[in-house]
Amino acid sequence: MATLEIDEEVYEALKLPEGERSDVMKLELAVSLYARDILSFGKARALAGLSNQEFQRLLGEREIPRHYGEEEPAEDIEYAG
């Protein structure tokens, strides 16, 4: 597993309880990387730690359109099966 280092001052500046910081950072990173077409839906969803429905709903709330890469249809078929 790779580790992302964040300066302690930045991490502490998050106005969230310490136990929620890591989850929020992963969620925001996942959404951002998906929106920029860097991660597929499945990989971004996994990074965020959300179900397909939860991640789809989050994207909708943020008005981020769903896009399909080469592996997306296969992931959807696997999920549906």
- Main-chain dihedrals φ then ψ at residue 21, nearest 5 degrees: -60, -50
Q: Contact, 34 vs 13, CB < 8 A?
A: no
14 vs 70: which has the higher pLDDT: 14
Counting the structural domains of the chain, the total is 1
Q: How high is the pLDDT of residue 4?
A: 82
Tell me how crowded residue 31 is: count the other CB atoms within 10 A of its CB.
20
In this structure, is residue 1 part of a structural domain?
no
In this structure, is residue 48 part of a structural domain?
yes
Q: 49 is in which domain, residue-wise?
A: 17-80
Q: How high is the pLDDT of residue 57?
A: 95
Tell me how crowded residue 22 is: count the other CB atoms within 10 A of its CB.
13
Per residue in 19-78, pLDDT tens? Answer: 888 899 999 999 999 999 999 999 999 999 999 999 999 999 999 999 876 666 666 667
At residue 80, does pLDDT exceed 80?
no
In this structure, is residue 5 part of a structural domain?
no
